[in-house]
Amino acid sequence: MTPSANGRLRPVIAIDGPAGAGKSTLAAHLARRFGLLNLETGAMYRALALKALETSTELGDEAALARLAESTQIALESSPNESNRVLLDGKDVTTRIREKDVSEAASQVSVHPRVRAWMVERQRAMGAQGGVVMEGRDIGTKVFPDAELKIFLDAHDEIRGQRRYLQSAGSTNAPTAEAVLAAVRDRDTRDRNRATSPLEPAADAIHLDTTGLTLEQVYTLAEDLVQAKIPG
């Protein structure tokens, strides 16, 4: 196999889109199906946000957060047949970072250019060899503008809110459907309007609106797109 112009033997698949669009589910599926590493960049922002909460670092203090990041180790463990694990300074925080306080804090932490620069540098290193599905908000625009495939996954906000609600329903202290929708809209507004790397599709991204589609339909559409990028 000869490397492509960017020096990678295997492709980088970028999946961006708003909260609740189904990025993580799709990324996990594609990773399993094609034997790719699944790197969920939101988990990195969440892990740093958790550390900020634990160390009482002010979420609006960019310099303090940048310093905090410099003394932080975040590892994404990805294996095709198991759920991914997220390690913060060696400790498994996979479940904790999904909680509401961390979701909110992650969105706040991610507005800061210096925090983003720290994240992007690490994400580029993680995906440099290719063979990855990388999922987030700025993968196709900033982290890998030369990704072999860019998918922008979206869905109507009420559908995204409902999906998020169903994920948490049944657990203790599960929020109401209205509260989940409000939180999704809140995060959307912040993610789309921040000055640095706002959530927006790359010019060459393929838009996939999943509003009226079943999961199987989304999988099939995305598999066809990825298949076209796998050499051989």
Positions that interact with ligand DC (CB under 6 A): 19, 41-42, 45-46, 106-107, 110, 136-138, 187, 191
Helix (DSSP H) and strand (DSSP E) numbers for the chain: 8, 8
Q: Which is nearer to ligand DC, 75 or 230 (CB)?
A: 75
Distance of closest approach, residue 1 Cβ to ligand DC, in angstroms: 29
Name the DSSP letter for residue 199: S
Nearest CA among 151, 190, 205, 172 for reference residue 22: 151
Distance of closest approach, residue 108 Cβ to ligand DC, in angstroms: 8
Distance of closest approach, residue 77 Cβ to ligand DC, in angstroms: 16
- Rounded to the nearest angstrom, the gap between the alpha carbon of residue 114 and the centroid of all alpha carbons in its chain is 18
Query: Per-residue DSSP letters for 127-184?
Result: HTT--EEEEESSIIIII-TT-SEEEEEE--HHHHHHHHHHHHTTSTTPPPHHHHHHHH
Q: Which is nearer to ligand DC, 148 or 191 (CB)?
A: 191
Neighbours of 170 (CB within 10 A): 7
Distance of closest approach, residue 32 Cβ to ligand DC, in angstroms: 19
Q: Which residues of 112-146 are buried (b: 16+ CB within 10 A; e: fewer)?
A: beebbebbbebbeebbeebbbbbbbbbbbbbbbee
Coil, strand, or helix at residue 115? Answer: helix
Check: CB of residue 155 under 8 Å from CB of residue 207: no
Q: Which is nearer to ligand DC, 99 or 223 (CB)?
A: 99
Distance of closest approach, residue 162 Cβ to ligand DC, in angstroms: 16
Distance of closest approach, residue 142 Cβ to ligand DC, in angstroms: 8
